[in-house]
Structure 1
């Protein structure tokens, strides 16, 4: 991984450097002015702050056009694995992040300092939601180019209780724009810097535009077609803003549009593809073969866990039947070609069809008549599934999955083991209600068995599968019986892939797709079981732990959203999920990984190692090979523990040496990586699905370990908050955006309406829902951790059994006040 360059360079063609007078030539003719601070914006010299929709310029497929992606003829320069570079990975996206803070660079001449108070004041930075051209919903905008702003919808609210805040960076060279609420997905916003931003000279002189921006905003046309095109874009931004009468032209110093990613269409399409198999041979079904009797207690013995359980719990587990089944799940991740970690780099999702942008362009160029498809294509399928918007004509070499290409290609079908339990007591007349359980990262489905006793006592059957590349779903490339890729037994980075962020994103989306297929396939379990079962598949709840809670909002939202296609409506009830209980989840995945006490050093180790052109990176790699062996040898048995020790020790040594420059270089590189990675992960991030969970009104319970009792720290894996890095990362922002009420005492509905709650625990640890064991990293007491487990399991079981009508809080000594 090369050192990231954000703000990103922009191709020279963007500014018209290919014939005729350039912007640089024009600037030479402008009269110099007294040195004053200005906004960095000079596309002809590769200076542009991101996010910025100018980087859609020249796109062939509606995704960002990152320099280095395409040649002069707009042909791809990169193979699929080439997008492993974090900055280039942005080129596979149809927009920007809904939640990441961003910077706008400044030019501050020697002796000039920006007044930080003016940056942090209302009116310094303003953000407007806008409608762009070619908008089918707005008649006045339909005939405009989609690159041009058409009209203002509304202005966002400034302030810590509003939508965003702004501040001057510590070095005074950037303006930081920090969302405190996520932006809407698939929406365009224009960020405006105003003349209210001032320096500290002569009572405060206003920030000024760059000379390039000044040329682009003027009425007099520039020279080349490319220059005129960019000029039209900038002028459209300012005209839309001024026409709204919200701001005057004199106040505007700088404008930049950003369109956020469309977060839901692809997984929504997968649900429709699954629904289309209803009643056919391709419909996923949970099948259960005939098998000898095994109880959960027997399974604990097989796993070597029986000796650690109290006798009364082991006896109770003997009253729960344990079964194994299987389900055929469509996989959109391709299989790696060999056993090297680098082989995962090109396994991210690929679209089935040519993208809609390319199809529309080809149709326009051909006078409305597309060429005949070649034999062996899936053109007829693409045409039928998309209503003619997508085709397979060989005009899209990259086939990125995006809002312009929403149908992912099925790469293979996985035969996935399903873990099933149910109480041996008499089933209700309607059958046992079912809980789908989903485990955490580096864990496996069997680890969820510790919750089955509480759920069985509440009358539930349970089903569970492994996440992709976890547990029994590791990948054995060469067929020797040993997995080359498995996040449970090998490396967490096989799933949370930092070497290829598009793969990390699509591992998360595959987890969601698998849960949708499992829920759909669960409807057939009674009919396809050779062991007599009586499950009520119309009454299905969900429990997620850690990663299971991270993918849950996307799964629950898509499961419960209505199916718009009338031909598929009959399948809609077969996806429904009732009350859900989430433990130790969080939003802002890249941010909570960086801030995680457990994973943060591992992430930072990978980032600094990969930034090979940094001097401190070379020093760190040398330390890993020599000094770290001596300093951290006791952790040699665990790659993640060794990496954490090595990184923390290395940074401590830099601090002791007073090498602040190297520490700043590390922090800057990590910040750039966090921006790129969160932007890539956004379409899989639960923050973007939290409003949908709220909209479908699914009853929801969430537990978060915030700590605070004695020496008990907060969750050491997924923190409650990622402040000051990002106010939208962690468990608490996710709970807020799902609309959950903080509960500190028992709750019971009086009108039959389910409650939606988050409970903050002062004691316990990341895995307390599953294990009462003491976690030394988190601190506190063994008794406190055991009490937290008992309280969490009681809350989960009662909340689900009561359909969200009752939440018991019995042991208040473990509840944060």
Structure 2
């Protein structure tokens, strides 16, 4: 992925700075007036710097960013929330502002034969820097958003930048990157890019190894000197630039995005869990189903790292309330919650049907498929797959995402004051919220009220830290459930000693839909006990996913406009908000975990024109897992048991139901269900492959002539 061309040392700056270089606000400092020409903005004394930037760590006492904001306690401001992070985004762009419009045609990337005028380098290991590959690792993009005659040039990662590495002593080492622009860049009026006066002073002093009288600029000189020396060293010992042509240079470290969930995964253990038979089969719950799955309900305990008293504003912290960083990544368990558990096993109808392979319970128990539903759904959506897996002889287990659950009191699966499970301390995951406030369900029901819809508050633009940790809590819950599936007590068995449901934890698989596939990507990367995962309609780079989603994008933009009329596309504040929000959400974004799932068996599903999760987000996530497209069974050879299938018919919900009456949608539904359970069965046999050439035995005859796979 990277090319070794810079065997130079000491690129990493040692920062000994005060908290003076810390603002992401626009500046109209007179030194940097647009009329002065075409310059790269770098005015340390006016707090105007490229963003992200290691200088924003200045004055930090705990390894977190130290950005000056108007109210550091207002964590609803994503810029203030960034001060809870130990580095910059692994996925969002870094950028530099210029005083005039940039001619994108003048961009020329660094190459060994020609240094060009832009470059980005991984300098994590100063003994072995790596120049990033343009078009593969990153791209340089000129923003079309202008403010005060200033423009922005983005260094946009095309795949997530690195998180922490570990040194020989087992200590975390943050990934660090360097970016550089030269005078070879031109404005749309033909001017060459020039350095700001302050950067020129720092640059020239650093290259001459001369101290500066101004204490602020001297500290900047010391910080940037190693990078400048490396940039001006001749190829192959450096980048080969002339000192006077460097218009701006900076370095930034990324955050330790995965460390907390990695520790949660390492500590995951079996939790208290139990289930009772309901006496219902799937067709009793939904007459459109075939009754091939028997329904059990119960509970499991999940360690809750979020704040149950403040679920819409709380976030994960260490035991002392401090921010989670690479130096103290383990989150505090705030509570142990008993949450509803949904289980299905092959019904008698499935075991007796000549069309179903299901037979008597295997000696070691039913193989089990963990299922995770999508945004605004709930655990009962397991029924959309329960018949298919019940017929094949597989059990299913499911829990709700945080802030999700069944909200209809008339549902026999609702856990409310009249439910035996409620008497056992089990509570719906949504805290029985009414207008965003947790409530006593008895009071609400007595007054004839209604609960907020499932998942209404999961995506929370008012608290990006909460949104990040809703995502992480979803993954943490799956990690603990995975360790628990083999020890779910049969609460209907009154025999001596614990009697467990007949589930074989050594034959364990996962299916996640939409948000369930998003959390499932991270889960799959962290739990190698899962034999195979089907990730249906997921996506990565969460803020881009939300902006580009035909379903969520308009709602989010409307909500932002209500807060501030400048929070709309085409405004700098809008760009800032989503870049900062992505930085905060990174530790929950599956894109940062995708590489960890590359050695797992993964079947990803994408539907053309998905109106909820845009195809761009699914493809971005698939690329992080390094999945190849499977269009025929022959493609499985290259995929090695994993791959992504793109369906040209169907919709976002086609994993669970057709969603429309047209024959193409019906055929897509049967194809996706068949490909899902046949992939799990193949993986269970030790030969994972996506059987896109096969067909569902219950599919209408008309589907034989309809191709739904691209």
TM range, normalised to the smaller chain? 0.7 to 0.9
Give 1:591 deviation, angstroms: 0.5
Which of residues 475, 479, 488 is equivalent to 2:440?
479
Alignment gaps of 5+ in structure 1: 1-10, 17-23, 70-76, 133-149, 276-282, 338-342, 354-397, 561-575, 618-661, 707-713, 722-729, 775-780
User: Would the aligned equivalents of 2:63 and 2:86 in 1 still touch at CA under 8 Å?
Assistant: yes
Give 1:533 deviation, angstroms: 3.2
Give 1:749 deviation, angstroms: 6.6
Give 1:736 deviation, angstroms: 2.2
The superposition leaves residues 118-177 of structure 1 with CA deviations (integer Å, 9 ceiling, x where unpaired) of: 125552210111137xxxxxxxxxxxxxxxxx555111112x3x2222233335822232
1:183 is the counterpart of 2:171: no
Could you tell me which residue of structure 2 aligns to residue 459 of structure 1? 393
Could you tell me which residue of structure 2 aligns to residue 672 of structure 1? 576
CA spacing shift, 1:538–1:663, aligned 2, 3 Å? closer
Task: Say which structure is richer in helix.
Answer: 1
Alignment gaps of 5+ in structure 2: 1-16, 23-28, 111-115, 165-174, 352-359, 406-427, 433-437, 494-498, 696-702
Which of residues 587, 594, 606 is equivalent to 1:704?
606
1:557 is the counterpart of 2:525: yes
What secondary structure does 1:14 align onto? Answer: coil
Could you tell me which residue of structure 1 aligns to residue 624 of structure 2? 737
Could you tell me which residue of structure 2 aligns to residue 791 of structure 1? 671
CA spacing shift, 1:743–1:488, aligned 2, 3 Å? farther
Give 1:47 deviation, angstroms: 1.4
What secondary structure does 1:741 align onto? Answer: coil
The superposition leaves residues 391-445 of structure 1 with CA deviations (integer Å, 9 ceiling, x where unpaired) of: xxxxxxx601121221111111110111011113212333211000000010001
CA distance in 1, matches of 2:324, 2:648: 42
Matches within 5 A, 1:647-658: none
Could you tell me which residue of structure 2 aligns to residue 447 of structure 1? 381
User: Would the aligned equivalents of 2:69 and 2:79 in 1 still touch at CA under 8 Å?
Assistant: no
1:287 is the counterpart of 2:274: yes
CA distance in 2, matches of 1:785, 1:34: 59
User: Would the aligned equivalents of 1:474 and 1:483 in 2 still touch at CA under 8 Å?
Assistant: no
Give 1:103 deviation, angstroms: 2.8
User: Would the aligned equivalents of 2:44 and 2:216 in 1 still touch at CA under 8 Å?
Assistant: no
Could you tell me which residue of structure 1 aligns to residue 202 of structure 2? 216
Could you tell me which residue of structure 2 aligns to residue 352 of structure 1? 319
Which of residues 502, 512, 526 is equivalent to 1:534?
502
Matches within 5 A, 1:208-287: 208-217=194-203, 218=205, 219-243=209-233, 244-250=237-243, 251-275=245-269, 283-287=270-274
1:682 is the counterpart of 2:682: no
Could you tell me which residue of structure 2 aligns to residue 593 of structure 1? 546
CA spacing shift, 1:428–1:128, aligned 2, 3 Å? same
CA distance in 1, matches of 2:272, 2:640: 31
1:438 is the counterpart of 2:368: no
Aligned residues: 602
User: Would the aligned equivalents of 2:653 and 2:659 in 1 still touch at CA under 8 Å?
Assistant: no
Could you tell me which residue of structure 2 aligns to residue 427 of structure 1? 361
Give 1:213 deviation, angstroms: 0.8
Could you tell me which residue of structure 1 aligns to residue 331 of structure 2? 408
* TM-score with structure 2 setting the length: 0.79
User: Would the aligned equivalents of 2:19 and 2:58 in 1 still touch at CA under 8 Å?
Assistant: no
1:815 is the counterpart of 2:685: no
Pick which of 246-255 and 448-457 moved more: 246-255
Could you tell me which residue of structure 2 aligns to residue 602 of structure 1? 555
Which of residues 660, 679, 689 is equivalent to 1:805?
689
1:88 is the counterpart of 2:80: yes
User: Would the aligned equivalents of 2:298 and 2:342 in 1 still touch at CA under 8 Å?
Assistant: yes
Matches within 5 A, 1:29-68: 35-68=36-69
CA distance in 2, matches of 1:200, 1:795: 52
What secondary structure does 1:294 align onto? Answer: strand
CA distance in 1, matches of 2:346, 2:57: 56
Which of residues 97, 100, 106 is equivalent to 2:89?
97
CA distance in 1, matches of 2:368, 2:121: 46
CA spacing shift, 1:151–1:87, aligned 2, 3 Å? same
Matches within 5 A, 1:483-632: 489-490=452-453, 492-525=455-488, 530=493, 533-560=501-528, 576-611=529-564, 614=566
CA distance in 2, matches of 1:124, 1:248: 9
Matches within 5 A, 1:390-409: 399-409=322-332
CA spacing shift, 1:46–1:748, aligned 2, 3 Å? closer
* Structural RMSD (CA): 3.0
User: Would the aligned equivalents of 1:439 and 1:447 in 2 still touch at CA under 8 Å?
Assistant: yes
User: Would the aligned equivalents of 2:664 and 2:708 in 1 still touch at CA under 8 Å?
Assistant: no
Give 1:38 deviation, angstroms: 1.0
1:328 is the counterpart of 2:304: no
CA distance in 2, matches of 1:718, 1:749: 25
Pick which of 228-237 and 51-60 moved more: 228-237
Pick which of 436-445 and 167-176 moved more: 167-176
CA spacing shift, 1:453–1:748, aligned 2, 3 Å? farther
Which of residues 130, 137, 148 is equivalent to 1:163?
137
Give 1:761 deviation, angstroms: 0.8
CA spacing shift, 1:534–1:167, aligned 2, 3 Å? closer
